[in-house]
Amino acid sequence: MVRPEVTLENYEDVYRFYLDHRQNRFLARAAYAALSARYRPQIRYADGARAQLQELLRSGTRLIVVANHLTDRDQYTLAATAWRTPLRSAIGRTRVLAKDELFADPKMRRAIDMMGSIPVFRGKDHGLRAVADAGRAMMDVAAERLHRGDVLAIFPEGTCNDGDPARVQQINSGVGHIAVKARKLGSEPALLGLGISYHPDRPADVFVARPVADLPTTPMNITRTVATELQAAVDEAIATRPARQRTPSR
């Protein structure tokens, strides 16, 4: 299938393409491994979270991963984290929502397509009315990919946090709508919160929360759950620890 130009005017062709797009899994794993070696995030788990995450992935439970958004390198930290956690098993079938401007440069697009990205046309860039139809199409595609068995990764704040990195910004309701749409398709997605904290003199700390397997029924209540879970994960990520030890991979 020919890759369509990623523009708002062309959104129907864009989402028709990303409904079925598959990256080369071997290349994706190699890229994730390289990012892990470069960024080396230090992973810490909530009690029982690692085992619970392994079981959810093993059982085929649909998984929505949410992380706070601090810098333009968050996607690399997220990929490196995936390699160092049980999420490694989902590399090659993980979809990451990414702003449409990242798809403009052909070289960058090849890279993020290989990582499994799906473009998002943001209201802050194009206007809320202009992106309404494209937004609904994006959520339909994300829900369908989730229902088919892909892991879905989202930065639900929608934009980098230029204020207080310790406080999660307002969460966009799209994550709640995607979860409800996936449920209507017959899936019961679980939620995994990842808190990221950066430091000037050492690798990022990432806290893996306990997955939430029983989500509320409405988009608004799911969005509130995301906000609560993500803030708790961020609190843990930035908490001072007396000893920082590398956790086992996977």
Q: Would you say how long the chain is, in residues?
A: 250
Position 247 scores a pLDDT of 46
Name all contacts of 92-95 with Cβ < 8 Å and 24+ positions apart: 92/23, 92/24, 92/25, 92/28, 92/29, 92/116, 93/25, 93/149, 93/150, 93/151, 94/150, 94/151, 94/152, 94/153, 95/142, 95/145, 95/146, 95/150, 95/151, 95/152, 95/153
Confidence at 206, pLDDT banded by 50, 70, 90: very high
Q: For the residues 196-220, what does the mean pLDDT come to?
A: 95
Is 3.90.220.20 the CATH classification of the domain at 8-238? Answer: no
Residues 237/195, Cβ–Cβ less than 8 Å: yes
Please state the domain extents for the chain.
8-238
Element containing residue 113 per DSSP (H, E): helix 106-114
Position 241 scores a pLDDT of 53
Nearest CA to 192 out of 71, 94, 110 is that of: 94
- Note the pLDDT tens digit of each residue in 14-42: 999 999 999 999 999 999 999 999 999 99
Confidence at 2, pLDDT banded by 50, 70, 90: confident
Residues 147/58, Cβ–Cβ less than 8 Å: no
Q: For the residues 170-190, what does the mean pLDDT come to?
A: 97
pLDDT value at 248 more than 80: no
User: What distance in Å separates the CA atoms of residue 177 and residue 184, rounded to the nearest whole number?
Assistant: 11
Mean pLDDT of the chain: 94
Confidence at 201, pLDDT banded by 50, 70, 90: confident
pLDDT value at 246 more than 50: no
Q: For the residues 66-84, what does the mean pLDDT come to?
A: 96
